[in-house]
């Protein structure tokens, strides 16, 4: 049996510039943080049973890979020419469809396990790029390249994407102490709302001119985000978050929800937060807010508003085999 894991992520800057609709025209740059919350995938070859058993929120039991309904698992198995005779299961620390890149993390963890089984020695870059190919080319999902790359690489990274889709990873270079200081101020809360990221992403690109104009502003703002992070001017980062959030809300009416807007506005009006955003495509999932000093007061407010705080740190490893016999 082989057990792999891949981290979830929080987008710090440039979210959306990793979509082909944008980077094929302008290039993209997205900065992301892998967090110490994971999706786990186990894979084993069956000794006697020739069928495939795939367990996730559902259980599938089929005699050939082509009959699997789970598109990402089916396509990954087909890539490695695994047609039957195996068992795969997955579990996660956090709920799916919550904006932390779960589908990309799942695929990266699965590819890691499958390549380990075949003793292929794939690099983190190769694992991420195969995950991108499966989601973006084979399955035609309206996703970008951030999730797969940060799940594979881990840590805090800026991913530069050229117009052909080639990705270069650049570590952000913050010390452990600097990361902790930043994470203390960037509080994350679960909104209780799950949504389909594909629906939100599709709604953003319906009006192409509107999408490109707004994303150019977000790309330019991303450079300021990274500068603030590297210089550890975290309050500046928090203020930029508010500007960014207003830009993002202009992209789609599905970006937010009334109870999220209400909490954000009340905290901002009282001066308890400088800015914030919904992590990921939008519409629900996790809300990140930047709190300069009044940590307990914000935590208490969010708890009273039925938001659940997520305690988190940085994952340093990216995708990893945590148990494995080839």
The residue extents of the domains of the chain are 2-174+315-324, 176-310
Most confident of 20-24, 212-216, 243-247: 20-24
- Residues 6 or more apart from 81 whose CB is under 8 A from it? none
Pair 208, 24: CB distance under 8 Å: no
What whole-number distance in Å separates Cα of residue 185 and Cα of residue 190?
16
What whole-number distance in Å separates Cα of residue 159 and Cα of residue 124?
13
Q: What are phi and psi of 274, to 5 degrees?
A: -95, -30
CATH of domain 2-174+315-324: 3.30.230.10
Pair 86, 76: CB distance under 8 Å: no
| pLDDT single digits (tens) 53-96 | 999 999 999 999 999 999 999 999 999 999 999 999 999 999 88
Per-residue pLDDT band at 213 (split at 50, 70, 90) = confident
The pLDDT mean for the chain works out to 91
Residue 157 has pLDDT above 70, yes or no: yes
Residue 263 has pLDDT above 70, yes or no: yes
Pair 101, 9: CB distance under 8 Å: yes
What whole-number distance in Å separates Cα of residue 220 and Cα of residue 301?
33
Q: Which residue has the tokens 């994470």?
A: 183
Residue 205 has pLDDT above 60, yes or no: no
DSSP assigned state of 205: T
CATH topology match: 2-174+315-324 vs 176-310: no
Which pair of structure tokens corresponds to residue 86? 């195996």
Which pair of structure tokens corresponds to residue 288? 């990140």
Domain 176-310 has CATH 3.30.70.890: yes
High-pLDDT (> 90) share of the chain, %: 79
| pLDDT single digits (tens) 272-298 | 999 999 987 555 689 999 999 999 999
Residue 197 has pLDDT above 50, yes or no: no
């Amino acid at each position: 049996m082989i057990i792999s894991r891949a981290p979830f992520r929080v987008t710090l800057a440039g979210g959306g510039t990793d979509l082909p609709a944008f980077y094929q025209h302008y290039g993209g740059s997205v900065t992301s943080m892998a967090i110490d919350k994971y999706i786990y995938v186990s894979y084993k070859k069956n000794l006697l049973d020739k069928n495939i058993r795939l367990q996730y929120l559902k259980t599938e039991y089929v005699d050939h890979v082509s009959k699997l309904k789970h598109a990402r698992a089916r396509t990954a198995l087909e890539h490695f020419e695994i047609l039957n005779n195996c068992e795969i299961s997955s579990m996660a620390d956090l709920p799916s469809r919550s904006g932390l890149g779960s589908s990309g993390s799942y695929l990266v963890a699965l590819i890691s396990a499958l390549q380990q089984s075949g003793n292929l020695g794939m690099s983190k870059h190769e694992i991420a790029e195969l995950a991108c190919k499966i989601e973006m080319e084979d399955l035609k999902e309206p996703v970008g390249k951030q999730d797969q790359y940060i799940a594979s690489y881990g840590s805090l990274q800026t991913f530069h994407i050229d117009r052909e889709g080639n990705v270069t990873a650049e570590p952000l270079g913050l010390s452990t102490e600097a990361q902790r200081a930043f994470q203390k101020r960037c509080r994350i809360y679960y909104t209780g709302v799950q949504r389909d990221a594909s629906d939100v992403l599709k709604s953003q690109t319906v009006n192409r001119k509107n999408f490109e104009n707004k994303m150019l502003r977000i790309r330019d703002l991303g450079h300021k985000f990274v500068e603030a992070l590297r210089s550890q001017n975290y309050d500046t980062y928090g203020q930029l978050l508010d500007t960014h959030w207003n830009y993002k809300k202009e992209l789609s009416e599905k970006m937010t929800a009334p109870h999220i807007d209400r909490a954000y506005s009340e905290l901002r009006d009282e001066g308890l937060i400088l800015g914030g955003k919904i992590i990921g495509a939008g519409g629900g999932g996790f809300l990140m807010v930047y709190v300069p000093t009044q940590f307990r007061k914000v935590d208490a407010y969010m708890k009273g508003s039925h938001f659940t705080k997520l305690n988190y740190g940085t994952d340093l490893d990216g995708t990893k085999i945590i148990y494995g016999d080839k």
